[in-house]
Chains A and B, each alone.
Chain A
Amino acid sequence: QSVTIVLAHEEPADATTSAAHMSAMVFKDIIETRSNGDMVVDIQAASTMGNQRERMELTQADIIQVNIAAIGGLAQFYPAINAIDLPFAFPDEIVADHVFDGPFGDMLAENIYATTDLRLLAVTAGDFYVFTNSTREVRSPADMDGLRVRTMSVPSHLAMMNALGAAATPVPWDELYSALETGVVDAQHNPIPIVAVGNLQEVQRYATVTNHLYGADWWVTSDLFLNNLTAEQMRIFTNAVEAARTAGRGAKMGLRATQFGTAFLEENGIQVYAPTPEELSQFRDLAAPAVMSVLADEIGDDAVALAEAMLDAVATAEREIYGAD
């Protein structure tokens, strides 16, 4: 029988600027060509199916078959996942990909399934956060003193910025541009493509490439959907997911090299600074313990355990990829 897969994400329906949409297109192409029209993919971009929380619910109900979630959406259903936002946990995206594809990723998928009934398919299109502000060049935590930094209303993000000496300020996304423009807040942190989506480069002057957080696309589906697939359909589906995972990562790197890297910030008149290893460790020594204690106090032991397992997995991955320490 023929199968329609609704794939939902929140980025614009434009594969030239969105890695999520590019990976969705790859998924669609493989499913539709390999199944010879037996399976159809209906991509619903730009949050047309609903916001993060709604899309998770609709995926649980099999109204959406594949959802590309962000950590914020997952965290409302599985709070321990905030552990992934332990600052400076990942040295680069190759190590991060290795961690999410390995035993740690499998354990995470099991935990997510146990609390949400959702199957984690892939973690892809990851990107690091930069810190931008309108006031002064930030080289080390000492320069952050007193800056009003916009974060999402996520306790670990707020704690991190406060630990660095800034005043963490929750501002809704739809008010962020004008808040930065008028000076209600001085600073924000996001991956560069998100900076570009919000045109924030117009209202910021300095960027610090701290790479402190790793934001990725989390592909999830439900058993309700998977259990209805025939063996042959399952094979095609798995193939398409694997291809989309590879494509998402490639697309993100390609976008960074061509459109949304630090060059994009510089072209828009932003002064970009890449901290030295010493400066980065100053950031890490303040931020990581603060977030660890938020995980322990506000979320629980499972989050702490997850964070520790993640750090172990990162150390293992670094050894495997780059050799002995």
Chain B
Amino acid sequence: MLWLMVGLFAILVALGTPLAFAIGITGLFALVQSDGPSLIRLVPMRLFSGIDMFSLMAMPFFILAGDIMNRIKITDRLVDLANAVVGGVRGALAHVNVLVSVFFAGLTGAAVADTAAIGRMMIPAMASQGYNRAFAAAVTASSSVIGPIIPPSIIMVIYGSLMQVSIAGLFAAGLIPGILMALSLMGYIAFRARRDDLPVANLRGDVPPLSVALRRAIIPLMMPVIILGGILGGVFTPTEAAAVAVLYALLVGLFLYRNLGLRDLVTMLYDMVRASGSVFIILAAASILGWVLARQGVPQQLADFLLGISDDPLIFLFIVTLALLIIGMFMEMTAILIILGPILHPIAVSLGIDPLHFGIVMVVNLNIALATPPLGACLFVASSVGKVRFEDVAWRILPFILVEIAVLAAIVYVPAISLTLPRLLGLG
């Protein structure tokens, strides 16, 4: 039965069935096939209960907040700041691309959205300064994975809700790995800059002085401070923080920049509905499949299999990392989290791996998979907004992916990278 399900799912996905339906149809098929009383009534029950979690609300909220930020052009000031920080070094715009991802990371929480927003802006700019377009797209796609690693992060919210791990703790644990990722990518870019003689020129010719750029960027930079400060200070929960982020962006747009109207609000709420629709239906459908798999004892079998290989936490992490890199190239990451997370997380904890550490490993891992050829979603978006052949981006991104895998290995091997900050803040 299990192999029948795997086969059906693989065929459906290969034939281009939207993932939510491929998952749902496979689950429904398994329910209809099972003997005993009819289980078909589980379909609506699971569709409902699978998303009946308050903390999932952070997802539409962060999507909305990010959308408002873009619309009121708060994000332009972050690009200026990145320019000012990097100055006129060789390969400046490539460095700016990475730095903007770091600054954006404090506002948004999804890598594909970062790729689209930053790529639209940076890839043409880099190309006009003489960068290879595919290289520019590769920098964009690879650095966009920083977005969900540095808090706030939609995928961490989902992880924390599903696995009952402190979301505030995950946010704190992601900060240093995210910065490490950015520094490693910039280190590699510096190496390439010298070897390939990348352009020195900046975005708009003249760089604003750092102090000016910093002052102008204070308002967007305050947002992550308010979000994290409010969570750690006990003012609001991580879910409520997402709503506060919306409020902050709204207040800035309505009263400070005054470039936001009621019409824009309706449009952005509409975009939020559309985006929620594409993610929640996957979570809902995956909970049908999750029920079926649990009923068949698959989690236990997989756990026994993994523990049968070795009960060394490092070897376990190595196997999981490798498997997720491969699966993550083919499957949507929320779906992976909801199906595999509840299986892998308890094993990790039973092996003595810190829940926050394991959470960060999974989040970093799945995000790298988003930019990994042949099927990473960020690659497709980067190639489409950068107007460059997909195969070229896929080829150019390989060294960047290797750098990111090296960072992942460091995060796996050195738990302190993830755990120092949450421990300092008393978050586990």
Contact = CB atoms under 8 A, between A and B. Distances in A.
Interface of A: 4, 44, 48-51, 53-54, 57-58, 61-63, 171-172, 174-175, 177-179, 181-184
A57 B45 contact: yes
A172 B233 contact: no
B22 to A, nearest CB: 23
Contacts of B427: 178, 181
> Looking at chain B's contact residues, is the secondary structure mostly helix, strand, loop, or mixed?
helix
Interface in B142-172: 160-161, 164, 166-169
Given A51-B49, A177-B166, A178-B169, A172 B231 contact: no
B55 interface: yes
B236 A174 contact: no
Nearest to A172: B54
Contacts of B294: 48
Contact of A182 (B39, B53, B232): B232
Contacts of A58: 42, 45
A172 B294 CA distance: 24
Contacts, number: 71
Contacts of B37: 61-63
Nearest to A173: B164
B233 A182 contact: yes
Nearest to B234: A183
B164 A184 contact: no
A174 B168 contact: no
Contacts of A49: 291, 295
B352 interface: no
Contacts of B239: 175
B308 interface: no
A124 to B, nearest CB: 25
Nearest to B170: A178
Contacts of B204: none
A184 B39 contact: no
Contacts of B195: none
Contacts of A183: 233-234
B235 interface: yes
B168 A181 contact: yes
Contacts of B426: 181
Interface string B337-361: 0000000000000000000000000
A181 B426 CA distance: 8
B128 to A, nearest CB: 46
Interface string B315-340: 00000000000000000000000000
A64 B316 CA distance: 35
B220 interface: no
B55 A174 contact: yes
B222 to A, nearest CB: 20
Given A51-B49, A61-B41, A171 B234 contact: no
